[in-house]
Structure 1
Amino acid sequence: MIIKKVFNNNAIVAKEADKHEFVVMGCGIGFKKSVGDVVDESLIEKTFILKQKDASEKFKLLLEHVPSEYVSLCYDIIEYAKNILNTKLNDYIYVTLTDHINNSIKLFDENINISNPLIWEIKKFYNKEFEVGVKALEFIEEELGRKLPEDEAANVALHLINAQLNSSSTNVENIASQTKKIQDILNIVKYTYGTTLDEKSISYERFVTHLRFFFQRLNKNTKNENEDDFLLKQVKEKYKEAYNCMLKVEKYLETELSDEEKLYLTVHIQRVTHR
């Protein structure tokens, strides 16, 4: 097993003869190592073999800026989820969940708490996934010393639900309709900014994932009765162009969005057009 890339002291890309590259993690496995060196297999703690090439490349990209302890923690959460849910999860869960947890911890450290308006529905209709989310918060508190709010358990659950979307019970007509609307919204963003969007970026992936669940919330007419527009006012002032683009999306949807949805959409539009 040969080293193909060193991310840091604890994470590398390795390759065996005539096999795909894969990410390997372990304490000190990359310490003072170079490309071409033989991997000390006694130090291997976790191995990420992502069969989907695109997911694999995005996962490697994440490792460039996400602390290795976060990546290792998300691996444990995903493995726990597979066992509890007794189901296969799309490889992208390693990208989306790791990226989400990384951003959630950043927001937590900045004392920013964005609620999840679907939390009660998730508890009711996706109880197993929500319980895995609760367990994930316990892992995070034990490993990183951050006690994230319960809304984050719902967010983790949403990523797990999304990773199971190949279910035969999925309504094909709804997916087709939502797919068209997602494309229309992406076009609104592209035409507003007069630019193309990087469809291989993590920001783009995160935006599309958000839109999938966005339509689920619209269908349920979910609203938070205790809305606080303080954050929305800040975002409106700071990201004026993104906010105006969001208003175009709202007009296209022919519905009045809640402050939370306006906030989420504005932030995602800002990210996907500026990364």
Structure 2
Amino acid sequence: MRIFRILNNNAVVVIDGPQEKIVMGKGIAFQKRKNDIIPKHKIEKIFVLHKQSSEKFQQLLATLPEKHVDMAERIISYAEGHLKAPLNDHIHIALTDHLSFALERLEQGFAIQNKLTNEIKFLYKKEFEVGLWAKEELKKDLGIDIPLDEVAHIALHVHTAKMDSPSMSEALETATILRDFIEQVETFAGITIEESSINYQRLVTHIRFALHRLEQEQPFEPIDEDMLALIKEKYQKAYQCSEAAAAFLKETYHIDFPPSEVGYIALHIQRLL
């Protein structure tokens, strides 16, 4: 392979037959010029992106700080190993662009916020672990201590890059629905739910699977009429709380849980009470 265009010390463009490819490797372009041959042992990654994405990625590689690009690539490589799954090539654009902008903001003293950090941490545990790994590497190599809110942003980018995963907007919507549901429970019951508690985790898991059943049009687990009546009578506050939160989801998101599901959710709320 011969160099067609140098993007930075670690990335070049080559023309391979009819295709334009981006080739990356540590120091791959050091003291190189156009038409120089690339040593095979220097090649770490090769990308073949469609024209628009390729142009965007080339622009990022040529303009963003190399240390930011290198860190993004290290995070992606670690994520693929940690998750034991390949990620969509678009993450090389999305995460690199996001990470560099976030690091610049932090270096300038701006705060990074993410209202869905707790939900993302619970919903996408393995991806959040990738974000925590990135947090340690960034602190060690660049001296930048990113907050947990940024860890959650990284986790969401990794999650949506997994093959067959929902889009970023769909993943955010799921996390938002869960957050809003929990806030409704807290408001109605007059309590503050500890996110690290096992009962919180059980409730969120239950709601998450309930949302999945609705999305996939799968049947809900039935509940005995006598048992439902007992829940309403014995755990009146928990049932009313579940009913109010379910009504909120129906009005706000057009999500309609059947009575049996409202009953099962009430049992989870009762544990929190």
TM-score scaled to structure 2, two decimals?
0.59
2:100 alignment partner in structure 1? 102
Matched residue pairs, number? 184
Residue 99 of structure 1, CA deviation? 0.7
Alpha-carbon displacement from aligned partner over 1:36-67 (angstroms, at most 9, x marks no partner): 2222445x263232455443332112112111
- 8 Å CA contact 2:91, 2:157 repeated in 1: yes
**C-alpha distance 141-15 of structure 1, shift in aligned 2 (>3 A):** farther
Read off the aligned partner of 1:33 and give its amino acid letter: K
- 8 Å CA contact 2:116, 2:176 repeated in 1: no
Q: Distance in 1 between matches of 2:50 and 2:103?
A: 27
Matched, 1:215 2:213: no
Q: Distance in 1 between matches of 2:15 and 2:112?
A: 41
The aligned runs of 1:158-173 (5 Å cut-off) are 158-164=156-162, 166-167=164-165
**C-alpha distance 22-149 of structure 1, shift in aligned 2 (>3 A):** same
Q: Distance in 1 between matches of 2:156 and 2:40?
A: 35
The aligned runs of 1:124-163 (5 Å cut-off) are 124-163=122-161
Q: Distance in 1 between matches of 2:31 and 2:5?
A: 12
Moved more, 1-10 or 15-24: 15-24
1:23 alignment partner in structure 2? 23
2:13 alignment partner in structure 1? 13
1:46 alignment partner in structure 2? 44
Alpha-carbon displacement from aligned partner over 1:159-195 (angstroms, at most 9, x marks no partner): 011112624xx6xxxx8xxxxxxxxxxxxxxxxxxxx
SS of residue in 1 equivalent to 2:45: strand
Read off the aligned partner of 1:133 and give its amino acid letter: G
5+ residue gaps, structure 1, are 176-208, 226-253, 256-275
Alpha-carbon displacement from aligned partner over 1:111-162 (angstroms, at most 9, x marks no partner): 1112111111111111111011100111212221111111111010110111
1:118 alignment partner in structure 2? 116
SS of residue in 1 equivalent to 2:126: helix
Q: Distance in 2 between matches of 1:45 and 1:214?
A: 36
Q: Distance in 1 between matches of 2:179 and 2:135?
A: 28
Residue 88 of structure 1, CA deviation? 2.4
- 8 Å CA contact 1:122, 1:154 repeated in 2: yes
5+ residue gaps, structure 2, are 188-250, 253-273
Read off the aligned partner of 1:131 and give its amino acid letter: E
**C-alpha distance 165-39 of structure 1, shift in aligned 2 (>3 A):** closer
Read off the aligned partner of 2:32 and give its amino acid letter: K
**C-alpha distance 138-150 of structure 1, shift in aligned 2 (>3 A):** same
Q: Percent identity?
A: 34
- 8 Å CA contact 1:122, 1:157 repeated in 2: yes
Residue 33 of structure 1, CA deviation? 2.8
Residue 96 of structure 1, CA deviation? 0.6
2:4 alignment partner in structure 1? 4
SS of residue in 2 equivalent to 1:35: coil
Q: Distance in 2 between matches of 1:136 and 1:19?
A: 33
SS of residue in 2 equivalent to 1:64: helix
Read off the aligned partner of 1:57 and give its amino acid letter: E
1:66 alignment partner in structure 2? 64
**C-alpha distance 101-166 of structure 1, shift in aligned 2 (>3 A):** same
- 8 Å CA contact 1:12, 1:30 repeated in 2: yes
- 8 Å CA contact 2:21, 2:46 repeated in 1: no
- 8 Å CA contact 1:14, 1:24 repeated in 2: no
Read off the aligned partner of 1:6 and give its amino acid letter: I
Residue 221 of structure 1, CA deviation? 4.7
- 8 Å CA contact 2:3, 2:13 repeated in 1: yes
Moved more, 6-15 or 95-104: 6-15
2:89 alignment partner in structure 1? 91
